[in-house]
Amino acid sequence: MSLQSLNRRRFLQSTALGAAATFAAPAVLRAQGQPVKVGILQPVSGAMSYSGQQGRIGATLALEEINASGIKSLGGAKIEPVFGDAQSTPEGGNAEVEKMNSAGCAAVVGGYVSSICLAASQTAARYDLPYIVDVGVADSIVTRGLKNTFRLGPGFGVLAKTAIDNLITLNDAAGKIAKTVMIIHEDSAFGSGLAKLLNTQLPEKGFQVIETIPHPTPTRDFNNVVTKIRASNPDIVIPADYYNEYVLLARTMQQQKVRPKAIYSVLGGAASSYKFVKEFPEAAQYIMDCNHWFDPKNPKALELKKKVEAKGEFFTYEVYMNYSAVLLLADALERAASADRAKIIAALESSTFSGHVMPYGPTKFVNGQNQGAAPVNTQVLGNDIQVIFPAQFASAKPVYPMPKA
Amino acid sequence: MKSYASIAAVVALLACVPLLTASNVALNFMVVALLIALVGQGWNVLGGYGGQYSFGHAAFFGTGAYVTAILQVHYGLNAWLGLVIGIAAGALIGAITGALSFRSGLRGSYFALVTLAFAEVLRIVASVAPITGAGVGTLIKLDLRWETFQFQSRAPFYWIILAFVAASLVLVKLMEGSRFGAYLVAVRENEDAAKAVGIDVLRVKLAAMTLSAAITAAGGCFYAQYFLFLDAGIAYGPWISVEALLAPIIGGIGTVYGPLLGALVVKTLGEVTKLATGDAPGLDLVIYGCVLILVVAFAPQGIAGLLRRRA
């Protein structure tokens, strides 16, 4: 019967596929000087593709730098990247980590979205494969007790706290002019987690949250949301979105001439993006953001910025966070003097890495979370993005409230 | 009897895969393909045999997934028990949505739209309800023991999903030969004629929808245990509704092997295009889409139909 023969053929194909993958997998142990494989996992296609591609740029630049001299303690071994596309879904991330594991990767860096980081790091944990989260900010990433997972950047808790503290400082300095807040957020782990934190913490600090509006990613029309904002007329609008939605929301607000006292975002996907400022300077004007940012006083960061801009790319947070995450791994490899996974994990646990380009305190990992990680506040002023808080990194004074158009 | 022997042979052959390859990449691929085959088989019962095209099987998939996950995370229930309850919950949602839409006499594209709406409503509810973890999602704790339905190796997962698929094949085969199956096909071919000869159309459609939902919910439960993370977009998102109908349509709608065939072909195609395009992100999806269009254009009866024509 034809069905049976077809199933046999299918079966043979799938086993051949499996066999090919087994042969392709090299031994994990390697001699000195041999390249160390590292998985670079990014969502380079799908809804998050822009961020994923930016992240890949950062990782690639870091690898170029590392490979110029190699890992000294491994006899000048180079890091060989194994690029993976998570296709903007957790299953995609999971499948790529499986491939990276069987390709003999010593560690994986990336993930970008919280949900991909959660799934991918868990899969990596099955194989004790070290996993460095580049961005993913959900607190649950580092509170699951996974030994293999590390995050150099800040999580929600720290981000929301810093954002609220800075908002209060800002508002107090201006004579407490703002009392009401409206939160617009995307409805996955990142936006909702943040909205939840803000909803509990803002009222404690004397702000009234009038309304919280979730929306999915992607959303292609914000007219209704902006109409609601106009009707409720809050003093401050807090958006927490990924890049495209953020831009669209800001532009719709500009078109409908909705101008609150401040657009103050927490991890606003575009709020502190050079791309946004260059493409839509009017919509971006005066927007404040509490976000990941490079250290503007670090010469290495400025050099990296020049390099990225010379390539015709924008210097977005994905770039320097992935750059820093890959350097963190290289430092751990250097100190571990081995591509052994357990030794890399031990080296990461005891890391005091300071070669990154972020405005962080001293690196110290507790349960995989870097205690020194912190965000900064930025504001779009003119054609540039300035750091307004904290004082030791600030490059401009905040403009608040937003001048009426 | 011959057809049951062929099911046994296919399943036995597939069961050998983990013995032939230790590669977790290959196993992960096969697990995902079989998961889609299972979900597709669920769709096939209602859409293929019953002619009721649903665009919202995510509603059942997501319910199965969330119920299993939530029972474990919030109520400390055993994962295996969670699986049983998850399937039951999915079937219940199937019965409820079925009763609501069939009682109102919705057919064809109206029925399709209503199922889509049900899934979307559930997705939005899940993205704000605290019990599902709202947008943050639900995370099942990694705890690799067989009691918790989690395994270090991918092989047990593979055999379990294969067992599910095998059960669904037998179930559909049984249904095909039963009085109920004949009623269902009669309803598909001409609902009014079926009614005229005394078939309780509503009851038949409801039973088909409940069975269909239960099979799809089993896929959802498995997904939760395999990936250990759910959010509203994963559980109730349109992606799974599309996968659920794509597999049987490509493989052969209203046939026992259609969903399995379709899932294997579609997933292999996805993987091959990904390998072939290498480092050009997104190009694989473009090729994948083009090939799908070609298949649908030149094999309207699916792959099974193509084979039948040739044989």
| pLDDT score for A405 | 65
Q: How confident is the model at residue A147 (pLDDT cuts 50, 70, 90)?
A: very high
* Continuous segment of H or E residues that includes residue A334: helix A317-336
Cβ atoms within 10 Å of A106's Cβ, excluding its own? 25
What average pLDDT does the segment B34-45 reach? 97
What average pLDDT does the segment B90-116 reach? 94
User: With contact defined as beta carbons under 8 Å apart, do B220 and B61 qualify?
Assistant: yes
* Residues in chain A closer than 8 A to B152 (CB atoms): 126
In the numeric block, the tokens 């350097």 are attached to: A327
Is the bond into A398 cis (omega within 30 degrees of 0)?
no
* Residues in chain A closer than 8 A to B137 (CB atoms): 115, 118, 188-189
Query: Given B17, B127, B227, which is nearest A18 (Cβ)?
Result: B17
On average, the pLDDT of chain A sits at: 88
CATH of B2-310, one of 3.30.2310, 1.20.1530, 1.10.3470, 1.10.287: 1.10.3470
* Contact at CB, A89 and B128, closer than 8 angstroms: no
Query: Given A95, A140, A190, which is nearest B139 (Cβ)?
Result: A140
Backbone angles phi, psi at A37, to 5 degrees: -85, 135
| pLDDT score for A328 | 97
CA distances from A365 to A84, A328, A353, A395, B141 (A): 26, 12, 10, 29, 22
CA distance B114 to B109: 9
| Rg value, chain A, Cα | 22
In the numeric block, the tokens 């009392």 are attached to: A179
| pLDDT score for A11 | 47
Q: pLDDT digits over A347-361, tens only?
A: 999 999 999 999 998
What average pLDDT does the segment B98-112 reach? 92
Task: Look at strands A208-215 and A236-240 and give their pairing.
Answer: unpaired
Q: Which two tokens stand for residue B82?
A: 């969670």
Share of chain A above pLDDT 90, in %: 71
pLDDT at B268 over 60: yes
* Contact at CB, B281 and A214, closer than 8 angstroms: no
Query: Given B28, B135, B232, which is nearest A95 (Cβ)?
Result: B28
User: With contact defined as beta carbons under 8 Å apart, do A155 and B200 qualify?
Assistant: no
Q: How confident is the model at residue B153 (pLDDT cuts 50, 70, 90)?
A: confident
CA distances from A401 to A337, A385, B247 (A): 53, 17, 56
Query: Which residue type does B129 have?
Result: A
* Contact at CB, A214 and B26, closer than 8 angstroms: no
CATH fold of the domain at A33-153+298-370? Rossmann fold (3.40.50)
* Contact at CB, A98 and B30, closer than 8 angstroms: no
Task: Look at strands A149-151 and A180-186 and give their pairing.
Answer: unpaired
Nearest residue of chain A to residue B272 (CA atoms): A17
What average pLDDT does the segment A179-196 reach? 86
Query: Given A15, A44, A191, which is nearest B17 (Cβ)?
Result: A15
* Contact at CB, A192 and B32, closer than 8 angstroms: no
Q: Which two tokens stand for residue B219?
A: 């896929």
Query: Given B24, B136, B264, which is nearest A98 (Cβ)?
Result: B24
* Segment among A140-144, B7-11, B39-43, B193-197 with least mean pLDDT: A140-144
| pLDDT score for B279 | 65
CA distances from A150 to A93, A115, A129, A142 (A): 17, 15, 11, 7
**Nearest CA-CA partner of B232 in B307, B126, B139:** B126
Q: Which two tokens stand for residue B87?
A: 């399937």
CA distance B65 to B276: 33
* Residues in chain A closer than 8 A to B227 (CB atoms): 90-91, 94, 119
On average, the pLDDT of chain B sits at: 91
CA distance A248 to A221: 8
Q: Estimate to the nearest angstrom the gap between the alpha carbon of A106 and the chain centroid.
A: 22
Share of chain A above pLDDT 70, in %: 92
Nearest residue of chain A to residue B28 (CA atoms): A95
HSE-up (13 A, CA, CB side) for residue B167: 16
* Segment among A28-32, A43-47, A144-148, B170-174 with least mean pLDDT: A28-32
Residues in contact with A392: Cβ distance below 8 Å, sequence separation at least 6, in sequence order = none
Share of chain B above pLDDT 70, in %: 98
Q: pLDDT digits over A308-339, tens only?
A: 999 999 999 999 999 999 999 999 999 999 99
**Nearest CA-CA partner of B240 in B100, B57, B87, B92:** B57
Task: Look at strands A180-186 and A365-366 and give their pairing.
Answer: unpaired
| pLDDT score for B290 | 84
Q: Estimate to the nearest angstrom the gap between the alpha carbon of A116 and the chain centroid.
A: 11
pLDDT at A214 over 80: yes
| Rg value, chain B, Cα | 19
CA distance A96 to A123: 10
- The CA dihedral of B154, B159, B161, B163, to the nearest 10 degrees, is -170
Sequence spans of domains, chain A: 33-153+298-370, 157-291+376-393
Count chain A–chain B contacts defined by CB atoms under 8 A: 149
| pLDDT score for A21 | 44
CA distance B30 to B205: 32
Q: Is the dihedral of CA B48, B54, B55, B60 positive or negative?
A: negative
**Nearest CA-CA partner of A296 in A382, A397, A398, A376:** A376
Q: How far is A20 from chain B (nearest CA, A)?
A: 9
Q: Estimate to the nearest angstrom the gap between the alpha carbon of B293 and the chain centroid.
A: 21
> Helix or strand or coil: residue B311?
coil
Q: How confident is the model at residue A20 (pLDDT cuts 50, 70, 90)?
A: very low
- One DSSP character per residue, A37-91 reads EEEEEE--SSTTHHHHHHHHHHHHHHHHHHHHH-BGGGTSBPEEEEEEE-TTSHH
pLDDT at A32 over 60: no
pLDDT at B282 over 90: no
CA distance B184 to B196: 14
Q: Estimate to the nearest angstrom the gap between the alpha carbon of A237 and the chain centroid.
A: 22
**Nearest CA-CA partner of B66 in B151, B136, B131:** B131
**Nearest CA-CA partner of A325 in A87, A153, A191:** A153
| pLDDT score for A285 | 93
Q: Terminal CA-to-CA distance of chain B, rounded, Å?
A: 21
CATH fold of the domain at A157-291+376-393? Rossmann fold (3.40.50)
* Contact at CB, B134 and A192, closer than 8 angstroms: yes
**Nearest CA-CA partner of B123 in B65, B82, B69:** B65
Cβ atoms within 10 Å of A29's Cβ, excluding its own? 10
CA distance A370 to A354: 12
CA distances from A382 to A269, A379, A400, B6 (A): 19, 10, 14, 72
* Segment among A15-19, A128-132, A293-297, B4-8 with least mean pLDDT: A15-19
What average pLDDT does the segment B68-75 reach? 95
pLDDT at A5 over 50: no
Exposure class string for B118-146: b at 16+ Cβ within 10 A, else e: bbbebbeebbeeeebbbbbbbbbebeeee
Disruptive mutation site among B1, B229, B271 for chain A (greatest number of A CBs within 10 Å):
B229
Any alpha helices (H) in B44-151, and if so which ranges? Answer: 58-75, 79-103, 108-126
| pLDDT score for A186 | 87
| pLDDT score for B1 | 63
CA distance B78 to B148: 7
Q: Do domains A33-153+298-370 and A157-291+376-393 have the same CATH topology?
A: yes
What average pLDDT does the segment A284-308 reach? 93
Query: Given B17, B24, B127, which is nearest A214 (Cβ)?
Result: B127
Task: Look at strands A180-186 and A236-240 and give their pairing.
Answer: parallel
* Residues in chain A closer than 8 A to B231 (CB atoms): 115, 188-189
Residues in contact with A327: Cβ distance below 8 Å, sequence separation at least 6, in sequence order = A62, A65, A66, A353, A355, A356
* Continuous segment of H or E residues that includes residue A197: helix A189-204
CA distances from A26 to A292, A369, B2 (A): 37, 32, 44
Q: Estimate to the nearest angstrom the gap between the alpha carbon of B138 and the chain centroid.
A: 21
Residue B50 carries which DSSP code?
Answer: T
CA distance A109 to A132: 5
Residue A235 carries which DSSP code?
Answer: S
pLDDT at B271 over 80: yes
Residue B131 carries which DSSP code?
Answer: G
